Amino acid sequence: KAGVTQTPRYLIKTRGQQVTLSCSPISGHRSVSWYQQTPGQGLQFLFEYFSETQRNKGNFPGRFSGRQFSNSRSEMNVSTLELGDSALYLCASQGYPLGSYNEQFFGPGTRLTVL
Amino acid sequence: SQELEQSPQSLIVQEGKNLTINCTSSKTLYGLYWYKQKYGEGLIFLMMLQKGGEEKSHEKITAKLDEKKQQSSLHITASQPSHAGIYLCGADGGGADGLTFGKGTHLIIQP
């Protein structure tokens, strides 16, 4: 089975721009979660999608949004980029929603640099 | 919200030695995950523990969840250079907050 894939792997943007990141979960998995990882804050939960519905959202501003398609692929969007948005963005997939305590597998991440 | 504290923050171990990493939670753990991360890369799933007293092993790595379900330990036997990286514990608080992660333990293996 192919693992979780994320595109692009690296991205450089300037302040004020917007960006869209993509995640393809493991085949058959319907839950996709997004995380932001920075040296200062560590790994922080952004949101989770299951069957095209956002189930949970972390403590991030409205500039961070996402969606999930019928094939379970997910995108996250960050508008009006700030320098502090520079981070590694990780996507994870599970067969069932968070809270059902099953294995969660992560993709390789997208490294976003905001200049 | 749940908080996870990992200790030690960093660890330098001579190749062939054993080591233990701890993860302590501020709340009862219902689903505890261990991951390994190479610098700047994605997380590699190691193990998930759910029941108090549960212990799982994979190759030379063993993880335990204590009976009171507020602490987990990861033990590596006869460490190898391939074990080097950042070890992260994560807790599933029931879905509302996603997985909450500890700050990680940086493991360096000296030849």
> What residues of chain A lie within 8 A of the CB of B30, using their CB?
101
- Across residues B91-101, what is the average pLDDT? 77
Residue pLDDT tens, chain A, 115 long: 689 999 999 999 999 999 999 999 999 999 999 999 999 899 999 999 999 999 889 999 999 999 999 999 999 999 999 999 999 999 999 988 877 777 889 999 999 999 9
Interface test with A, best of B3, B38, B41, B103 (most A CBs within 10 A): B41
Residue B94: the pLDDT is: 65
Q: A70 CB contacts (<8 Å, ≥6 apart)?
A: A52
How far apart (Å, rounded) are the C-alpha atoms in residues B58 and A92?
A: 21
Share the mean pLDDT of chain B. Answer: 92
Q: What are the C-alpha distances in Å from B98 to residues B1, B13, B19, B62, B101?
A: 11, 32, 29, 25, 10
Residue B98: the pLDDT is: 78
